[in-house]
Chain A
Amino acid sequence: DAKTTQPNSMESNEEEPVHLPCNHSTISGTDYIHWYRQLPSQGPEYVIHGLTSNVNNRMASLAIAEDRKSSTLILHRATLRDAAVYYCILRSRGGYQKVTFGIGTKLQVIP
């Protein structure tokens, strides 16, 4: 599986935008970029995914580099409820969809 690299932790002030980076230099042409987040004592929840174009949904935006070797999850206005561990993962389109979660980025939101 192609791997991803994320910073271990980040801080943000409440109500400010947050940009969470992810490097995936070995991404293949069939890999989708997925983001999940995990609140304390809960299972991860899906946030957003994309292939080549930038994506927006009600939770966040996903900016994908032109060479697809990196991506950035954007939270437009961080709230205290956004404090979580954010995982960037790659999922291949073909065959069985095994997913490997790394350690992720622990986001701390400061009031």
Chain B
Amino acid sequence: EPEVTQTPSHQVTQMGQEVILRCVPISNHLYFYWYRQILGQKVEFLVSFYNNEISEKSEIFDDQFSVERPDGSNFTLKIRSTKLEDSAMYFCASTPLYQETQYFGPGTRLLVL
């Protein structure tokens, strides 16, 4: 069964550094999402993306964040200058056209030191 994949599974970075988290959505899906989950807290929506543009973003998704679909398969989340509070699990999800079920990847655990 097709799955959403994410790389890396773990990333450690220094505060102020840029990080790029990568996702490969399921191949025929057209809607893409990023969520994050700070340790012990709820899963929070960051951004949704369709037709090469952001459809919706949360208050968390400020100017430090950006998303891109650089080619036909990857979907990336960039954090320009990481802060300690960006430490979290980041989940990518995707949805096919005419369906509304979101399928999640296994996540990337980001630790900012």
Do A and B form a real pair?
no
**Chain B contact residues, CB within 8 Å of chain A:** none
**Chain A contact residues, CB within 8 Å of chain B:** none
